[in-house]
């Protein structure tokens, strides 16, 4: 499974499928990605390679997030307490259809209007 950032500077590749896929509704994910929640595909870190070492930001809780310093895409997350896995934003995968989320986490922080998204009008392209 391959993927990369919006501008293509950072690319990554893994030989295996994710261990699991989750929607994270925590405040740190919202803020760092700029989205109402983030869908993460969680991979074994050993299976994972980047074409270049991406820039990182380490939060006070020691969580490390990587991003592209050219286009700003949020790419990955890991934490020293969970050394063996790396979380990848599903939106960065070349084939995100293959990674539907299996569960929601941090739902105590979930925005109330997320549950109503199915009730608002759809437009198949920008209207
Ligand atoms: Zn980029
Ligand atoms: Zn989160």
Nearest ligand to residue 7 Cα: 1
Across residues 87-96, what is the average pLDDT? 97
Rounded distance from Cα 121 to ligand 1 centre (Å): 32
Pure H helices in the chain:
27-33
Task: Please give the pLDDT value at position 61.
Answer: 93
In angstroms, what is the span from residue 24 Cα to ligand 1's centroid? 23
Q: Which domains does the chain have, with CATH numbers?
A: 2-113 (2.170.150.70)
Indicate which ligand has the atom closest to the C-alpha of 5.
1
| Whole-angstrom distance, CA of residue 75 vs CA of residue 111 | 22
Residues of the chain with pLDDT > 90, as a percent, come to 96
Report the chain's mean pLDDT, rounded to a whole number: 96
Enumerate helices (H) and strands (E) in the chain, giving the number of each. Answer: 1, 10
Backbone angles phi, psi at 101, to 5 degrees: -70, 145
State the distance from the centre of ligand 2 to the C-alpha of 101, rounded, in angstroms.
14
- Under the banding of pLDDT at 50, 70 and 90, the label for residue 25 is very high
Q: What is the mean pLDDT of residues 19-41?
A: 97
d(C-alpha 25, C-alpha 32), whole Å: 12
- Structure tokens that stand for 100 in this block: 């539907």
Give the pLDDT of residue 21: 98
pLDDT top residue among 47 and 40: 40
- The confidence band for 60, taking pLDDT boundaries of 50, 70 and 90, is very high
Reported pTM: 0.94
Find the length of the chain.
127
SS3 30: helix
Distance in angstroms (rounded) separating the CA atoms of residues 127 and 63: 39
């Amino acid at each position: 499974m391959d993927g990369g950032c919006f501008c293509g500077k950072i690319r990554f590749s893994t030989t295996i499928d994710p261990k699991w896929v989750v929607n994270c509704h925590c405040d740190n994910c919202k803020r760092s990605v700029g989205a109402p929640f983030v869908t993460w595909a969680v991979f074994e870190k050993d299976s994972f390679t980047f074409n270049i070492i991406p820039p990182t930001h380490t939060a006070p809780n020691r969580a490390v997030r990587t991003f592209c310093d050219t286009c700003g895409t949020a790419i990955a997350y890991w934490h020293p307490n969970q050394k063996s896995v790396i979380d990848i934003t599903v939106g960065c995968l070349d084939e995100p259809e293959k990674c539907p989320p299996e569960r929601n986490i941090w739902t105590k922080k979930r925005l109330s209007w997320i549950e109503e998204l199915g009730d608002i009008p759809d437009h198949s392209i920008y209207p």
